[in-house]
Amino acid sequence: LSPIKRLSLDVAIGNPAAASYISPPPGYDPPATHRADPIGRNYAIEHREEEKNARYRTLLGAAAVADPAAFVPFAMTATGCISAKATRFLREEVLRDDNSRSTRARTELNTKL
């Protein structure tokens, strides 16, 4: 028998057009790759992801939240952008599953990631 793998996944959606994401709070220092983000997309994803991390740190513990095999904060924007952690989950867990019933769906998802 194979061991049972337990994964907690929580979805969060942020609207990058919301005023709170267009004008991030004072002191927010985005990574260099995000500084050219005119509509708050990256901040919306980061904020929603960190909200999930903070909530689950109290529930699962810091070690579990840091382990992508135990917890995935599946953050995305209302416009369809997804976080790096969500993308990694889709690639490593969903797309590698050979038991997928739809080859066409797997192929389409793989080309969009």
Calpha distance 17→43 (Å, rounded): 11
Calpha distance 38→61 (Å, rounded): 35
What is residue 2's predicted lDDT score, i.e. its pLDDT? 47
What is residue 1's predicted lDDT score, i.e. its pLDDT? 40
Q: What single DSSP character describes residue 8?
A: E
pLDDT digits (tens, 9 = 90+) for 23-58: 767 777 766 655 556 556 778 888 888 899 999 999
What pTM was estimated for this model as a whole?
0.72
What is residue 101's predicted lDDT score, i.e. its pLDDT? 58
What is residue 35's predicted lDDT score, i.e. its pLDDT? 57
pLDDT digits (tens, 9 = 90+) for 81-100: 888 899 888 888 777 766 55
Q: Phi and psi of 12, rounded to 5°?
A: -135, 135
CB atoms within 10 A of CB 71: 23
